Amino acid sequence: MTAELIDGKAAAQRLRARVGDLATRFAEDAGRKPGLAVVLVGEDPASSVYVRSKGKATVAANMESFEHRLPADTDQADLIALVDRLNADPAVDGILVQLPLPAGLDADAVLTRIDPDKDVDGFHPVNAGRLATGLNGFVPCTPYGCLLLLRERLGDLSGLNAVVIGRSNIVGKPMAALLTAENCTVTIAHSRTRNLPHHLAHADIVVAAVGRAKFVQGDWVKPGATVIDVGINRTDDGLVGDVDFESAASVAGAITPVPGGVGPMTIACLLRNTLVAAHRRAGVALDADAI
């Protein structure tokens, strides 16, 4: 292996420490802690574990955690009513509805009901529009975490060629918008891209979020490139990313492992977004770019 390993756990710990310090300062200025409400419908095991870890991280960052666990047979109207109550609750700065929702519930209707200024997941169309047009909004946590890792590794990203593999609303599209705002030259690739290795051969940055185990091969990667692997795929060999780690690590300049790369940054960025939301709602000054 020649690539430097990008330690997402360490980066996330540093970010969470900064957020915790600023949350303590916010509480002194505003007279209350930042508050994050998480809604879980049903008993999906992976979602339950994720919600529990979010709650612990929220409390550890000197924030209030409000958990709302609803039965799987909750109807659409009751779920929308809960979102409305959270929108109106002055103690709640951020609202997160854990996905996936049980069958029969309309996730889009629920997510678009969240106040965009409390949408710390960054999924609301208003926040997608703000990102696309360069306005202050909330960016989905996973791509923002990827950007922070890239900045920490590379510094100024201006002029670099970047290929984002995947075009989802949660990762691919916002990732491309973030890199464009950093003055990268960005290509969005996907399952129907022709001759993907040709595009990657010129990429200084590769962000893989296509959802296919070991899809990106090492001999596709430009020597010295920085590779961010967003994929988490369960296989007989355990968790693997969208990049064939062993072959890519022999070529890349730096690469994220799976697990331990991008994953830890997602919750850290959720806490960061909640902190920013609290400051904006309370009218307390904060340099969001400094976090």
**Which domain CATH number covers 206?**
3.40.50.720
pLDDT tens digit sequence for 252-278:
999 999 999 999 999 999 999 999 999
Q: What is the mean pLDDT of residues 144-158?
A: 98
Q: What is the mean pLDDT of residues 237-241?
A: 90
Domain contains 90: yes
Domain contains 22: no
d(CA 257, CA 173): 22
Q: Indicate if 56 and 102 belong to the same structural domain.
A: yes
- pLDDT recorded at residue 248: 98
CA distances from 259 to 155, 233, 265 (A): 24, 10, 11
Domain contains 18: no
Ranges of H-type helices in the chain: 8-30, 45-60, 76-88, 107-111, 125-133, 141-154, 172-181, 196-200, 245-249, 263-282
Q: Where do we find the tokens 């464009």?
A: 180
d(CA 172, CA 129): 15
Q: Which of 44-48, 181-185, 214-218 has the lowest mean pLDDT?
A: 44-48
Domain contains 11: no
Q: Indicate if 147 and 251 belong to the same structural domain.
A: yes
- pLDDT recorded at residue 35: 98
Say which residues have a Cβ less than 8 Å from residue 149's Cβ, sequence separation at least 6: 6, 8, 11, 228, 256, 261, 262, 265
Q: Indicate if 110 and 147 belong to the same structural domain.
A: no
d(CA 72, CA 94): 23
Total-model pTM: 0.95
Q: Where do we find the tokens 């409400």?
A: 37
Q: Indicate if 91 and 168 belong to the same structural domain.
A: no
Domain contains 284: no
Q: Indicate if 107 and 221 belong to the same structural domain.
A: no
Of the pLDDT bands very low, low, confident and very high (cuts 50, 70, 90), residue 237 is confident
As beta bridge partners, residue 235 has 238
Q: What count of other Cβ atoms lies within 10 Å of the Cβ of residue 261?
A: 28
Domain contains 289: no
**Six token digits for residue 129:** 């529009």
- What percent of the chain clears pLDDT 90, i.e. is strictly above it? 92
Domain contains 277: no
Structural domain count of the chain: 2
Q: Are 139 and 198 in contact (CB under 8 A)?
A: no
Q: Indicate if 157 and 44 belong to the same structural domain.
A: no
Q: What is the mean pLDDT of residues 42-61?
A: 92
Q: What is the mean pLDDT of residues 136-149?
A: 97
d(CA 89, CA 84): 9
CA distances from 210 to 112, 158, 188, 191 (A): 25, 25, 11, 8
Q: Indicate if 70 and 151 belong to the same structural domain.
A: no
- The CATH number that applies at residue 97 is 3.40.50.10860
Q: Which domain holds residue 181?
A: 141-263
- pLDDT recorded at residue 276: 97
What is residue 163's three-state secondary structure? strand
Q: Indicate if 77 and 169 belong to the same structural domain.
A: no
Q: Indicate if 154 and 215 belong to the same structural domain.
A: yes
pLDDT tens digit sequence for 106-119:
999 999 999 999 99
Domain contains 14: no
Catalytic residues, by residue number, are 54, 98, 121
pLDDT tens digit sequence for 13-40:
999 999 999 999 999 999 999 999 999 9
Residues in the chain, total: 291
- pLDDT recorded at residue 1: 66
Q: Indicate if 149 and 251 belong to the same structural domain.
A: yes
Answer yes or no: is pLDDT of 289 > 80: no
Q: Indicate if 110 and 163 belong to the same structural domain.
A: no
- pLDDT recorded at residue 288: 76
d(CA 118, CA 284): 16
Q: Indicate if 110 and 167 belong to the same structural domain.
A: no
